[in-house]
């Protein structure tokens, strides 16, 4: 599991993920400058560090590089949650506490995700009452 992104790394990766295409240091710099004062060399160093850490791949374009995300933000969030959960000495209690912190919208998203992972089910028939040989 990779370390969580730092504040500036997250700001850079947010743009790379949002744009979902190869980006230049200049593009990221110009967007970041709408929120903060930041130097070109700082953004270049952050993107180089993200490349060294395996968050982005890069391809040379002239004397510069274009950077592209290796993974998605949802995959990053899932890895962070999985790592945190794995570190608990009581995973069930950790999940109960986590679910207790969720908003109604988050709980609905969780229910939807569980349905997707489980796949379609036969309505009104408990799984243990299905006849043998049905492929389950």
Does the structure show a pLDDT above 70 at 130? Answer: no
pLDDT for 3 equals 76
3-class DSSP state for residue 68?
strand
- 90, two tokens: 């009581």
pLDDT for 46 equals 98
pLDDT for 126 equals 52
User: In the chain, which residue ranges form alpha helices assigned H by DSSP?
Assistant: 7-19, 25-32, 40-52, 73-86, 91-101, 104-118
Q: What is the pLDDT of residues 95-115, one digit of tens each?
A: 899 989 999 999 999 999 999
pLDDT for 123 equals 55
pLDDT for 120 equals 75
C-alpha atoms less than 13 angstroms from C-alpha of 96 in its C-beta half-sphere: 4
- Give me the residues paired with residue 38 across strands: none
pTM for this structure? 0.72
pLDDT higher at 83 or 17: 17
C-alpha distances in Å from residue 113, one per residue of 79, 107, 127: 16, 10, 19
- For 121, residues 6+ apart whose C-beta sits below 8 A from its C-beta are 127
Supply the mean pLDDT for the chain: 88
Q: What is the pLDDT of residues 42-80, one digit of tens each?
A: 999 999 999 999 999 999 999 999 999 999 999 999 888
């Amino acid at each position: 599991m990779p370390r969580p992104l730092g504040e500036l790394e997250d700001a850079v990766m947010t743009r790379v993920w949002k744009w979902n295409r190869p980006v230049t240091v200049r593009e990221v710099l110009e967007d970041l400058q709408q929120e903060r004062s930041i130097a070109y060399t700082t953004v270049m160093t952050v993107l180089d560090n993200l490349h060294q850490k395996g968050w982005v791949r890069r391809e040379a374009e002239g004397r510069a590089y274009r950077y592209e995300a290796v993974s998605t933000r949802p995959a990053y969030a899932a890895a962070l949650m999985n790592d945190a959960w794995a570190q608990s000495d009581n995973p069930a209690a950790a999940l109960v506490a986590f679910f207790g912190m969720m908003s109604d919208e988050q709980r609905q998203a969780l229910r939807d995700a569980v349905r997707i992972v489980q796949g379609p089910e036969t309505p009104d028939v408990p799984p243990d009452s299905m006849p043998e040989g049905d492929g389950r």
